[in-house]
């Protein structure tokens, strides 16, 4: 439990850190923290329920993109800044590291395992994002179709 809490907290702080690196509007730094927290929470919950890293990454990517789209509508800003900062904790940095560490110590079996994990994580995040964008695009079109003519 302690470990989960420290992970969630450091995910939020890491997102804020990247918000600073990418010169995010200072008003949105709390939003970046919440985004990183939520993305990792979604990952942990999905990983616990489904015990599949790919599906967990997919769901977490989906949540991050959905969060960014919702926030972009509320703040009248582009969704990219929110999405980039929220998805930061999902980047598979550790598996990439363990993969190359295994290559250096010529443990090819482990290298294959971690390489596969890295690739699956990236693919999962991308698929999750894609689903969220399709929904956002659909809602935008429905909005134009249903709301505008009544004005």
Partner 1 sequence: MGEAEVSHFLCILIKMGEALQNSGAEVFRVEDTLNRIAAAYGAQEVNVFVITSSIVVTLTMPQLPPQTQTRRLRHASGNDLLMLEELNALSRRICAAPPSVEEFQKQLDAILAKRAAPRLRLAGSVLAASSFAVFFGGSLWDGLLAGVIAVLVFWMERCLAPFCMNGVEFQFIASFCCGISTLLFCRIGPQLHADKILIGIIMLLIPGIMLTNSIRDILLGDIISGSLRLVEAILMAAVLALGMMAAIWLMGGIA
Binding site for partner 1 (CB under 8 A): 3, 6-7, 10-11, 13-14, 16-25, 77-78, 80-81, 83-85, 87-89, 91, 93-94, 96-101, 103-105, 122, 125-126, 129-130, 133
Min separation Cβ 89 and partner 1, Å: 7
Rounded distance, CA 33 to CA 125, Å? Answer: 19
Q: How far is the CB of 28 from partner 1 (least distance, A)?
A: 8
Q: What is the distance between the alpha carbons of residues 85 and 81, in angstroms, rounded to a whole number? A: 6
Q: Which is nearer to partner 1, 25 or 139 (CB)?
A: 25
Residues with Cβ within 8 Å of 42's Cβ and at least 6 positions away in sequence, in order, are 59, 60, 62, 63, 64
- Give the position of tokens 């956002």: 136
Residue 134 to residues 65, 69, 82, 131, 137: CA-CA distances in angstroms?
A: 11, 11, 17, 5, 5
C-beta closer to partner 1: residue 46 or 95: 95
Q: Whole-number minimum distance, CB 65 to partner 1, in Å?
A: 9
For partner 1, the closer of residues 14 and 56 by Cβ is: 14
Q: How far is the CB of 147 from partner 1 (least distance, A)?
A: 19
């Amino acid at each position: 439990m302690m470990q989960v809490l420290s992970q969630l907290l450091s995910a939020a702080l890491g997102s804020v850190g990247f918000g600073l690196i990418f010169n995010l509007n200072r008003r949105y730094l709390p939003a970046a923290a919440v985004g990183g927290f939520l993305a990792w929470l979604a990952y942990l919950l999905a990983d616990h329920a489904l015990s599949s890293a790919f599906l967990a990454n997919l769901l977490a990517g989906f949540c991050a993109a959905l969060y960014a789209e919702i926030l972009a509508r509320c703040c009248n800003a582009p969704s990219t800044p929110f999405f980039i900062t929220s998805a930061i904790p999902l980047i598979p940095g550790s598996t990439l590291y363990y993969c190359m560490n295994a290559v250096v110590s010529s443990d090819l079996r482990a290298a294959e395992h971690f390489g596969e994990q890295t690739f699956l994580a990236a693919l999962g995040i991308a698929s999750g994002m894609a689903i969220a964008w399709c929904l956002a695009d659909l809602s935008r079109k429905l909005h134009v179709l249903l709301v505008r003519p009544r004005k």
